[in-house]
Amino acid sequence: MRRRLTREMHRMKVIGPEAASACAALSDICMRGGKRLRAALVCVGARCFRQRPNLELLIRIGAAVELLHAYFLVHDDWIDSDNMRRGGPSAHATLRALYGKSAGDAAAILAGDWGAAVANDWMAQLPVKGAALTRLLSAFSEMQRAAICGQLRDTLAQGTDIERTYELKTASYTVQGPLALGAIASGANAKQLDALRLYSIPVGIAFQLRDDLIGLFGAEKVTGKPFGSDLRAGKRTAAAIYAFNTARGSDRRLLASVFGNPRASQKQLLEVVQVMEYLGARSEVERRIATLLAKANRGLRIAPVNDAGRKLLASAANALALRSM
Amino acid sequence: MRRRLTREMHRMKVIGPEAASACAALSDICMRGGKRLRAALVCVGARCFRQRPNLELLIRIGAAVELLHAYFLVHDDWIDSDNMRRGGPSAHATLRALYGKSAGDAAAILAGDWGAAVANDWMAQLPVKGAALTRLLSAFSEMQRAAICGQLRDTLAQGTDIERTYELKTASYTVQGPLALGAIASGANAKQLDALRLYSIPVGIAFQLRDDLIGLFGAEKVTGKPFGSDLRAGKRTAAAIYAFNTARGSDRRLLASVFGNPRASQKQLLEVVQVMEYLGARSEVERRIATLLAKANRGLRIAPVNDAGRKLLASAANALALRSM
């Protein structure tokens, strides 16, 4: 991926240093790492249906998926005004420092657009013929649209059926999409892909719920963001919604004064975290994660995958839903 | 296109009314019309290499190109803070009215992202096999990237070699890309496509220069935007750059006070237009358009296209470079 991104960046430099700097901001986010979860799941999906999958092909698909992910991160960070990402400045933060707020924001959006175009192109150029290519492109597009629709729901209809939002925003695009791409690359048919959903959707929702908990209760070193930034930003996570629905009196007033308040103090943030803890918000979400994990495992038992795939999916489910980072 | 967009919109309604409203704002821009220039050029490109091109295929490609165009309009209008488009509110203006500034802006960006994903999907689903599909997708991606890079240059490096910016922002994506897509659909080879560039790049740049002149001197009814909005927005068009480089004394002070001033009065705007006129900014740009048109016609004479195609391209060049609306 580094080699291919470098080649794309080189083409950008011909266009001009400014355009290149914008795309470098996206490319940096991409190369800064992250868990490479989606690329790994592409490989798992492929292993489920073939003993020796085509690794070269999977690496290419994985690179396109990770680049698509970087594009979403760049747009989403701008939407959420998140200035940190993967332990460094987010793309719009980098570009604002170079070009000022309004041109920097525009450049970040365009850098994301560029990433999307390049990712789609990488997919279109895969060395796969005929109907298989069409199916891969279709699955890639499905992933993209689900993530965009999930983000739209998250932005415009916060709090209404949050698990449906998570299904679109996270499950479809983080778990289901990558697994499906790998499976298609190994020749899985439509019926097999459908069966895989019974596993991947609950796992994906559980992964997002875990992500929420880590964002709320996790250490700075783990999240790559300042402590309490999700609270300061007023992110309507499942735990936050639960806490708001349960809190009364002074607890409720505390929540209302801190939640979505960018100037909330460290002390206030710690208090809110404690309140959420004793109101049971954390254990409620933990319970829900366990239920989803059980559901995924039931789905996995009847999934039409080979034994090696089943083992990989079982460990993936635990790793995604129960991870501590 | 209406039928296909309606189908996509229907899928969005299942996602939720808010997500649907965002995509409706993009879809509205798309269906509000415009010149459908790019879709027409897809057909011209196809006619150049085949007497009876596959119309059904061309209509599908044309629809994808027009949808891609709507996506760029939505993002660009947000970048340029243009509140009007095609005689109605731009997408972010519509969505701000529904959801407030920050959520409205986010929704407009996401609606654009959605349009891009759908347009790419329409291309991927074309009923074309093997290498031809890969070539079509490649050309589509090339168009997208050129437009994004042009917009990046326009945003971050205003005024440096403006015709290079126009080549990327307009020529590649408005003339060259659509012609190439049509030509590929009719089986043109890489050498034939390259030859076509000698025509399409100068025509495309001339088209953008004409667009600038119409934006500056054209009537409201023609531009679909309030008179002088390009001046108020401080758009660094070729004519504006020329005027700035030539103006002295009070003319220069007037330009500086009006250009990029959103509160400039109608009277001031009219004065600036007169100053630009007598400084020769308009005639300078007209001269440049004529030079580019002559260059395109030289390219056309040696282009490897059939006679019907040559005639169509000759009228297209005149229509694009000399149009009055």
Q: Which two tokens stand for residue B201?
A: 């790049």
Note the pLDDT of residue A325. 57
- Do B266 and B312 touch, CB atoms closer than 8 A? no
Among chain B residues, the shortest Cα distance to A166 is held by B15
How many Cβ atoms from other residues are within 10 Å of residue B192's Cβ?
18
Going residue by residue through chain A, which has 325 residues, state the pLDDT in tens, using 9 for 90 and above.
667 767 776 676 666 777 788 888 888 888 887 788 999 999 999 999 999 999 999 999 999 999 999 999 999 999 988 888 888 999 999 999 999 999 999 999 999 999 999 999 999 999 998 889 999 999 999 999 999 999 999 888 765 788 999 999 999 999 999 999 999 999 999 999 999 999 999 999 999 999 999 988 887 777 767 788 888 888 888 888 889 899 999 999 999 999 989 899 999 999 999 999 999 999 999 999 999 999 999 999 999 999 999 999 999 999 999 987 5
Distance from C-alpha of A144 to C-alpha of A67, rounded to nearest angstrom: 12
Among chain A residues, the shortest Cα distance to B161 is held by A16
CA distance A150 to chain B (A): 8
Distance from C-alpha of A107 to C-alpha of A10, rounded to nearest angstrom: 18
CB contact under 8 A, A103 and B22: no
CB-CB: which of B15, B103, B118 is closest to A155?
A: B103
CA distance A189 to chain B (A): 18
Instruction: Give the number of A-B residue pairs with CB atoms closer than 8 Å.
Output: 156
CB contact under 8 A, A124 and B103: no
Note the pLDDT of residue B40. 93
- Do B56 and B324 touch, CB atoms closer than 8 A? no
Strand boundaries in chain B, DSSP class E: 84-85, 88-89
CB-CB: which of B17, B78, B138 is closest to A124?
A: B138
Per residue, the 3-state secondary structure of chain A, as one string, reads CHHHHHHHHHHHHHHCHHHHHHHHHHHHHHHCCCCCHHHHHHHHHHHCCCCCCCHHHHHHHHHHHHHHHHHHHHHHHHHCCCCEECCEECHHHHHHHHHCHHHHHHHHHHHHHHHHHHHHHHHHCCCCCHHHHHHHHHHHHHHHHHHHHHHHHHHHCCCCCHHHHHHHHHHHHHHHHHHHHHHHHCCCCHHHHHHHHHHHHHHHHHHHHHHHHHHHHCCHHHHCCCCCHHHHCCCCCHHHHHHHHHCCHHHHHHHHHHCCCCCCCHHHHHHHHHHHHHHCHHHHHHHHHHHHHHHHHHHHHCCCCCHHHHHHHHHHHHHHHHCCC
Note the pLDDT of residue B302. 93
Q: Which amino acid is at A96?
A: R
- Do B92 and B82 touch, CB atoms closer than 8 A? no
CB contact under 8 A, A152 and B19: yes
Choose among A324, A318, A325: nearest CA to A290: A318
Among chain A residues, the shortest Cα distance to B100 is held by A156
Which domains can be identified in chain B, with CATH numbers? 190-325 (1.10.600.10)
- Do B122 and B63 touch, CB atoms closer than 8 A? yes
Distance from C-alpha of A141 to C-alpha of A118, rounded to nearest angstrom: 13
CA distance A204 to chain B (A): 18
Test the A interface: residue of B8, B145, B156 with most A CBs within 10 Å? B156
* Chain A residue numbers touching B138 (CB-CB < 8 A): 121, 124-125
**pLDDT < 50: residue spans in chain B:** none
CB contact under 8 A, A15 and B168: yes
Name residues whose C-beta falls within 8 Å of residue A92's C-beta, 6 or more positions apart in sequence. Answer: A74, A77, A78, A83, A104, A105, A108
- Do A20 and A9 touch, CB atoms closer than 8 A? yes
- Do A209 and A295 touch, CB atoms closer than 8 A? no
- Do A221 and A241 touch, CB atoms closer than 8 A? no
Q: Which amino acid is at B150?
A: G
* Chain B residue numbers touching A177 (CB-CB < 8 A): none
Q: Which two tokens stand for residue A35?
A: 């868990």
The pTM score is 0.91
Among chain A residues, the shortest Cα distance to B167 is held by A15
Q: Which amino acid is at B7?
A: R
Distance from C-alpha of B215 to C-alpha of B230, rounded to nearest angstrom: 6
Distance from C-alpha of A140 to C-alpha of A152, rounded to nearest angstrom: 19
pLDDT per residue over B155-172, tens digit each?
887 657 889 999 999 999
CA distance B148 to chain A (A): 6
What are the CA-CA distances from residue B152 to residues A2, B105, B147, B213 (Å)?
A: 23, 19, 9, 22
Note the pLDDT of residue B225. 73
Note the pLDDT of residue A204. 97
Q: Which two tokens stand for residue A16?
A: 């001009």
Among chain B residues, the shortest Cα distance to A155 is held by B103
CB contact under 8 A, B19 and A149: yes
Note the pLDDT of residue A118. 93
Answer yes or no: is the ipTM higher than 0.85: yes
CB contact under 8 A, A141 and B121: yes
- Do A99 and A107 touch, CB atoms closer than 8 A? yes
Among chain A residues, the shortest Cα distance to B78 is held by A106
Test the B interface: residue of A155, A168, A184 with most B CBs within 10 Å? A155
Name residues whose C-beta falls within 8 Å of residue A64's C-beta, 6 or more positions apart in sequence. Answer: A119, A120, A122, A123, A140
CB contact under 8 A, B106 and A155: yes
